[in-house]
Chains A and B, each alone.
Chain A
Amino acid sequence: MSKKVVIPGELISAERKRLGSNVFVSNGKIYSKVLGISEEGGEKASVVPLEGRYPPQQDDVVIGVVTRAIFAGYNININSFVESFIPKSAIRDDLKVGDLVSAKVEYVNELREADLGFARRLYGGEVIEVTPVRTPRLIGKGGSMLELLKQGTGCDIIIGKNGRVWARNGNTELLKKVVLFINDNSFKSNLTNSVEEFFKAEGIPVSAPKRDADRVNNFVEESEVIVNDLEESELLN
């Protein structure tokens, strides 16, 4: 199986296949919808996008910024096509414009507006902005990359699927460098190993959880993992 960069409208498969994300069918053939990476020879035809704004999806964890506070609640910028809204009843903290919140996307309607739940204010910390569609690589398969980043920098980290990485404590400067490197090279292979080696060379003991023996085809699968370490990273709130 080999990976390939495809452009919108490019033929992915002339055969019938299971349809994954970012593809469409025309006259029985499967084409890419976006500029992205497709894997040839698999059972499923899908494309991992390389660019674009954040398309909200149910169960995503996002980092939002309050843009407006009105009587009923708050407008939240989540880096998407339109803003989201959190009613005052859904959040304990009093928010003001500019505050950061973490939240989970509970529902996305047909207008692609996201309803947010489990919202809570984030105190302090820094935000690193990345390309939203590339965040899966910051999490890694089974959360392996995220774990490495935490060990290597000592930071508490929340990776918002909307392209915002929130971090507090620890060496946020170092984290920023590594995160931006991963973002810039998200389409290349051997990322997890390189980051692990990098931390070791810096004299920082890390060990990536080795849950995946077969690293060749991890690109597509990585996009399907969810953040499962959130509770731990939020422990200091």
Chain B
Amino acid sequence: MSGKVKENMPDYKKDKKRVDGRKMDELRPLSIKVGVIPNADGSAYLEWGQNKVYAAVYGPREALPKHTQNPLKANIKVTYRMTTFSVPERKQPRPNRRDMEISKVLGEALDKAVFTEQFPNTEISVFVEVIDSNAGSRVACLTAASCALADAGIPMKDMVAATGVGKAFGELVVDLDKAEEDAPDAVDIPFGILPNTKEIVLLQMDGLLKKSEWAEIAKLGYAACEKIYEIQKKALTDKYQLSEVSQNQIVDKSTPKKVEKDSVKTKKESKEKAKKVKK
């Protein structure tokens, strides 16, 4: 932060709304789509405000090299990366210390949600890639990664829903954007929970905060994660419409009828022949 005090600095206590017009407890628009990466065992694409992230899960697969294997449980390995063009100033392609740290805390958050003990000696690899960002990319990645794990069919105790919470321009807010993260009084708290048990699995903080404010912020965090959980649930279940199928749907997928009939006839003949041979 520069020491300069900006003119026209927003004052949320007075304005009653945020720089981008949101209410204090309002999330930016969030949408999730699962199954977007056909090669992966599970995947998700998430857009959250300007943030856009992919998550892919491979595994459980044999953990390699062998010395990393744990005979009691699966290792959850998260790799968080950003594309060079996902930030205002071009990012160096090689992973930096921030990427590494985020990978570690995301892995530790997901570890609590997965029945890792069911897959000894394996690794569940989770890759998250940020292609566009505006504050809150790690919670976007965690929210997407949890959907990708479920999409991969991996047994879990719960989903993980996460959001940023904190303080900006004199008020407690959820889902801070870049302008708010740069506020002089900004407090940014990436906050992730298991929605059903309410256990906190991701918690970091930058900034200066009063103890009394924290209690209020935690409340905001839980409420926001509830909303995120509902969006995750919808993204996962929408894929499966439990309707009835009809024969016409198969016909649409088949090749021209005539060819099929002919080929079936000839195959039947060949089968009869085969039976004769057998006798």
Contact = CB atoms under 8 A, between A and B. Distances in A.
> Touching in the complex, A and B, CB below 8 A?
yes
Interface of A: 3-11, 22, 24, 26, 31, 33-35, 37, 49-53, 81-83, 110-112, 133, 152-155, 169-171, 173-174, 177-178, 180-181, 185, 187-191, 194-195, 197-198, 201-204, 235-236
Given A154-B264, A173-B263, A9 B159 contact: yes
Interface in B68-96: 71
Given A34-B153, A188-B241, A202 B261 contact: yes
A10 B157 CA distance: 9
B129 to A, nearest CB: 21
Given A8-B150, A8-B159, A35-B153, A171 B247 contact: no
A204 B120 contact: no
Contacts of B264: 152-154, 170-171, 174, 202, 204
Secondary structure call for the B interface:
mixed
Given A7-B232, A37-B242, A181-B253, A82 B156 contact: no
Nearest to B121: A111
Contacts of B278: 235-236
A177 B150 contact: no
B153 A5 contact: no
Interface stretch (B175-183, B207-215, B265-273): B265-273
Interface in B247-279: 247, 249-251, 253-255, 257, 260-261, 263-264, 267-268, 270-271, 274, 278
Contacts of B154: 8, 34, 52
A53 B124 CA distance: 12
Given A177-B253, A195-B247, 16 more contacts: A8-B157, A33-B156, A37-B240, A49-B153, A51-B42, A51-B151, A52-B153, A83-B62, A112-B118, A154-B264, A155-B267, A170-B271, A171-B263, A190-B245, A190-B246, A197-B247
A23 B60 CA distance: 19
Identify which of A6, A171, A189, A201 gathers the most chain B CB atoms within 10 Å of its CB: A171
Contacts of B62: 81-83
B153 A188 contact: no
Contact of B240 (A10, A33, A82, A187): A187
Shortest 5 CB-CB contacts between residues of A and residues of B: A52-B153, A9-B158, A51-B153, A8-B156, A197-B247
Contacts of A169: 267, 270-271, 274
Nearest to B196: A9
A52 B150 CA distance: 9
Contacts of A152: 264
